[in-house]
Amino acid sequence: MLNRAELERQPRVFQSLAGLSPAAFAQLLPAFEQAYAAAQDSADAQRKQARERQRQYYSSKKKRHTVKNIVITDKSTRKIKALGPTCEGKKHDKAAVDETDFLFPPGSRLWQATGFQRSAPPGTTTYQPKKKPRGSELTPAEKETNQTISRERIGGEHSIGGTKVFRIVHEVFRNHRPAFDDLVMATACGLHNLRLDFRPQVA
């Protein structure tokens, strides 16, 4: 294989391969070297950022990288009325909803999951299943109350499931553009609501 020094001794061959004379190529070479160094530095920074993002979103409980959104649904229509920003899946539900700071109309009744313990937005009445105390069991009355609350909450779970019919939501998400995960989830929620507009109402 010919190296650069050998090619420079054959100007015609050099010109046919590089499209430049040896002298012109020598003048442009420093600029090429600087551009390569800048590109390599940028790539290293992107890889470092990707590794940090992986650590942030890794859930040791589920042994994979996860994200989550806080979703507010309407109990009567099963439409999604509010959507929180995408955050790491290992973040506690209470912490995620506190950062979002949803506002509810006065007098609203809020049926919450067990992850929202001690979360009571102003002006709302909250209903939440009671968690089993450590080292003991729930009483029969508490279990019955939990079942009643769960029956009221099931519509919200169905609404969340309605967004997961889209493969981009329930499969591995590989797009790392900034805020693109928020756009995907918002689009899925909008399509779920649109589908409900055309679904026949069951009496």
**Closest Cα to residue 69, out of 88, 95, 52?**
88
Task: Quote the number of domains for the chain.
Answer: 2
CA distance 73 to 111: 10
Check residue 163 and give its pLDDT: 92
Cα angle at 189 between 183 and 193, to 5 degrees? 140
97 and 143 assigned to the same domain: yes
Q: Are residues 179 and 128 in the same domain?
A: yes
Residue 106 phi, psi dihedral angles, 5° rounding: -55, 140
What is the C-alpha separation between 143 and 163, in angstroms, rounded?
A: 30
Q: Which residue has the tokens 């920003």?
A: 85
pLDDT digits (tens, 9 = 90+) for 35-67: 666 655 655 555 566 677 777 777 777 788 888
pLDDT in tens, 93-132: 888 888 888 888 888 888 888 888 778 888 888 888 888 8
Quick check: is 202 in a domain?
no
Answer whether residue 148 is part of any domain.
yes
Tokens of residue 145, six digits: 């109350």
